[in-house]
Amino acid sequence: MAAPRAFRPFAHREYRVLIAALAVSIFGSGMWAVAMVYQVLALDGGPLELSLVAASMSVGLTAFVLAGGVAADRIPQRRLIIAVEAVNLASVGTVAVLAALGWLAIWHIAVAAFALGVGAAFFFPAYSAILPRILPPEDLLAANGMEGTLRPMLQQAAGPAAAGLVVAALSPPHAVAGVAACHVIAFIALNFLSRPAPDGEPAADGGPIAVARPSILHELREGIAYTVRTPWLLWTLLWACFSVLFMMGPIEVLLPFVVRDQLGGDSAVFGLALATMGVASAAASLVTASFRLPRRYLTLMVAVWGVGSIPLVFVGLMDAFWQLAGALAVLGASWSFGTVIWGTLLQRRVPPHLLGRVSSLDFFVSLAFMPVSMALAGPLAEVLPLWLIFVVAGGVCPIMALVAIVAARMPSDELAHPLDRALQDGGGVEALNEDVAESPER
């Protein structure tokens, strides 16, 4: 009996090793989010110190994510991912040892957070680039869906919950030690990934080459140029810019006031609302992974993103928890549905030697506009009613989705580049590669 589509990637040993290490690592990241807070508080830190530590991680991530994309296209991804996990282990392990010895200071935690941010900047492009090398094209959607399922469950729910229990039962240093243990396990697991054959290592992945590589700046410009001249990439990223700018601030900054002022709820109600969004996100990722990539993959992806943001229009007018929970569930599900498809499209339509750079550009867009959106949300709420801000946030995104679909000519593009046609007709990977090679965007 054939395995369900969502679990087919587990038939491949390399994927089993990679996803096991990833699961443990992101569980540790979820623990760190809580352990770090209480470790700072245990050192008599306040909001300023917490902001410093959180900002250190964001700065490391933002400053190095484009370099991480270049590295993923120059260095073997296996080597890069293992190196990132080694940095994570060294950073958190140092904090754990210093805490155990009583020598820990807040600046130590800030430095470790910065290192974790830099590690994440190099990890995500490398992870995206390695999947097409260890899985056949027809399993990439399921692999991205599995990651989309595990991440909210482990990083947003199980990891923080475990750290909270350890802090309550023992102490913050014990929770930090637990994070370090997760990175030990992940590092050991990643070393079981098979080494690529020396003769088969593509030059673009950092294998042996006879000529000098272009400069890092040249390679970065190459990735940007490819994105700009590829309509479906460019317009999807433009839509992402608008969605992050208009939606993230209201959701992250203003939603707690909706819960307090309109629903009469407290922090528990707010947490439950976000949990609903996370559960819907994980479920949608798993469901998306269970089916084939849709024939109208571009149009459907952007349309679902746009339509899924419409419930935000009504958030500022809601007065019942079930209404807010339903709106956030729709939003989380639509985001995950589109994100799983988006990650798969990058891996199947972007040339392998550019995949790391294009993935890092995608990540950079979200990072760059998220703090801007959060910085604007508070001042806007001082001069505009909440309902109006949410109406604009939920109304702009569907309009931009329609603009992106039309401007990039997505319906005709996806018909000209059917990703599952070759596989369904029995042509296999070779036929698919021939179809990709003939694409005018190459």
pLDDT in tens, 337-387: 988 898 888 888 888 888 888 888 887 877 777 777 877 887 888 888 888
Check if 5-194 and 229-437 are the same fold.
yes
The structural domains of the chain, with segments of one domain joined by +, span 5-194, 229-437
Does residue 12 register a pLDDT over 50?
yes
- Distance CA(21)–CA(177), nearest Å, equals 18
Mean pLDDT of all residues belonging to the chain = 83
Beta strands in 298-344 (DSSP E): none
- Distance CA(33)–CA(159), nearest Å, equals 8
> Would you state the pLDDT for residue 436?
40
Residue 398 identity (one-letter amino acid): P
Fold (CATH) for 5-194: Growth Hormone; Chain: A; (1.20.1250)
> Would you state the pLDDT for residue 18?
93
Question: CATH for 229-437?
Answer: 1.20.1250.20
Residue with token string 């964001």:
58
Say which DSSP state 1 is in. -
Token pair of 414 as six digits: 């996806």
- Distance CA(202)–CA(255), nearest Å, equals 48
pTM of the entire structure? Answer: 0.76
Q: How many CB atoms lie within 10 A of CB 219?
A: 21
> Would you state the pLDDT for residue 267?
64
Tell me the pLDDT tens digit for each residue of 268-304.
677 778 778 888 888 888 888 888 888 889 999 999 9
CB 129 within 8 A of CB 356: yes
> Would you state the pLDDT for residue 58?
80
The residue-averaged pLDDT of 48-64 equals 82
Token pair of 379 as six digits: 């001042």
Say which DSSP state 439 is in. -
Does residue 197 register a pLDDT over 90?
no
How much of the chain, in percent, has pLDDT values that exceed 70?
Answer: 88
Tell me the pLDDT tens digit for each residue of 128-170.
889 888 888 888 888 888 888 888 888 877 888 888 888 888 9
Tell me the pLDDT tens digit for each residue of 307-342.
999 999 998 888 888 898 899 899 989 988 988 898
Does residue 3 register a pLDDT over 70?
no
The band of 2, judged by pLDDT with boundaries at 50, 70 and 90, is low
Q: Would the CA dihedral through 154, 157, 161, 164 be positive or negative?
A: positive
